[in-house]
Amino acid sequence: MSNKPIRDSYLPYGRQWIDEEDIQAVVDVLRSDYLTTGPAVGKFEHAVASYVGTTYAVAFANGTAALHGACFAADVGEGDEVITTPMTFAASANCVLYQGGKPVFADIDSDTYNIDPSKIAEKITDRTKAIIPVDFTGQPADLEQIKELAKKHNLVVIEDAAHALGATYKGGKVGSISDMTMFSFHPVKHITSGEGGIITTNNEVYYQKLLQFRSHGVTRQSDQLIENQGPWYYEMQFLGYNYRMTDIQATLGTSQLKKINHFVDRRRKYVAMYNEAFKELEEINVPYQDANGNSSWHLYVIRLNLEKLTVSRREIFEALLEENIGVNVHYIPVHLQPYYKQLGYGYGTCPNAEKLYEEIITLPLFPAMTEEDVKDVIEAVNKVLNLYRK
Ligand SMILES: *Cc1c(COP(=O)(O)O)cnc(C)c1O
């Protein structure tokens, strides 16, 4: 076996795709009257709301701030419990802590890797306020069953769809299904605004709270003021934050959103190439897809069949890195992070997620990849498996 890597240049697991039209749009906004929250933010919110099919959308500085806003709008406070999945980025649970609430982790389904509604049901108490399902890798969670549970127990569903812009569930667009849905516009996500996030909702009360929360708890709307001392007057009515998106971010976001269908199509095409190439390999499991959803494929996660291999995930991971393939692991279960352990969480509470974590590798997937890049990844996976299969 030659030691020459499959690729000369490093292929990241994800990255943005910015074209000349995006650049021109941002240059134009830099010459305009507004840099921070101005007309471009409203335009972007309108574009996202109409894309997913909701009445309202509220843009934030990033997706984490948007999740924080959603927890505030859902009235999550001191001692309230919010159920979420451990197989996610820490932000899905941190937003509960920001509000003084308590994240409660419900284990995942071993096929879809999404939160298991029967495990959610076991965790509901009279302190439960909300559920935060995550559409892991872009595959919608079991939204119908989650909605039913929420209805039965009077809970708010805040869907973390950071991975799922462009996905559908039973024919409906993700973003229009839950009480509130969060999308992130970090550069590795489907579209980018640099940093950025948004909440989509059909609920006017949530909408008003989100607007005020992202700007210090301040309102100028005359119908909401407790008194009105004059045209200069505004009121800070609760402790909010400066979580505003800028017009620079929003302009980039609007330009990127025009390309979402093209981006998702390319992701799906590359996933089909991976699935086809790996389907006969006993050493890896390709991602299982539930028939109710149509994923928009933020991530392509393979699961190693360690019984068929002579080494652990770590050696396979390092061998792929040596081939210049930018592999990753999504995710280290949140309840195993040192900070969460210090809060009393830990190993043994979500066995399906803990086991999955030991066996997964994320392969590169992003729309700006070429078919040649995809073929390099396939070749590298085959090369490494040939070295380590039993
Ligand atoms: C990216 C991401 C977030 C946070 O979004 P930011 O815009 O980076 O703050 C939250 N949840 C999940 C699952 C994510 O992937």
Q: Is the pLDDT of residue 304 over 70?
A: yes
* Residue 342 pLDDT > 80: yes
Q: What is the pLDDT of residue 2?
A: 57
- List the chain domain ranges: 20-257, 260-388
Does residue 1 have a pLDDT over 70? no
Q: Is the pLDDT of residue 330 over 70?
A: yes
Instruction: Give per-residue pLDDT as tens, 55-71.
Output: 999 999 999 999 999 99
The model carries a pTM of 0.98
- Ligand 1 contact via 91 beta carbon (within 6 Å): yes
The arithmetic mean of pLDDT across residues 92-97, rounded, is 98
Name the CATH architecture for the domain at 20-257.
3-Layer(aba) Sandwich (3.40)
- H-type helices in 102-188, by residue range? 117-123, 143-153
| CA 253 – ligand 1 centroid, Å | 16
Residue 183 in contact with ligand 1 by CB distance below 6 A: no
Q: In ligand 1, which atom is closest to the CA atom of 62?
A: 7
* Ligand 1 atom index nearest CA of 88: 13
Mean pLDDT, residues 182-187 taken together: 98
Q: How far apart are CA 307 and CA 311, in angstroms?
A: 9
Evaluate whether the domain defined by 260-388 bears CATH number 3.90.1150.10: yes
Average pLDDT score over residue span 32-60: 97
| 122-148 residue pLDDT tens | 999 999 999 999 999 999 999 999 999
For a ligand 1 pocket test, name from 15, 89, 199, 365 the mutation site with the most ligand atoms within 8 angstroms of its C-beta.
89
Residue 89 near ligand 1, beta carbon < 6 Å: yes
Instruction: Write out pLDDT tens, residues 200-252.
Output: 999 999 999 999 999 999 999 989 999 999 999 999 999 999 999 999 999 99
What's the gap in Å between 284 CA and the centre of ligand 1?
27
Phi-psi region of 202 (alpha: psi -120 to 50; beta: other; left: phi over 0): alpha
Task: Note the pLDDT tens digit of each residue in 346-365.
Answer: 999 999 999 999 999 999 99
**Quick one: which of 185, 178, 135, 188 has its CA closest to 158?**
178
Regarding the beta carbon of 60 and ligand 1, being less than 6 Å apart is answered: no
* Buried/exposed 236-245: b ≥16 CB within 10 Å, e otherwise: eeeebbebbb
Atom of ligand 1 nearest to the CA of 65: 9
* pLDDT value for 126: 98
- Give the pLDDT of residue 3: 79
Sheet hosting strand 360-363, strand order edge to edge? 284-285, 300-304, 360-363
Catalytic (active site) residue 189 = yes
Q: Are 333 and 350 in contact (CB under 8 A)?
A: yes
What is the Cα gyration radius of the chain? 22
Is the Cβ–Cβ distance between 52 and 175 less than 8 Å? yes
Span 29-50, average pLDDT: 96
Q: Which of 102, 129, 173, 189 is catalytic?
A: 189
Distance 68 CA to ligand 1 centre (A): 12
- 250 C-alpha to center of ligand 1: Å? 17
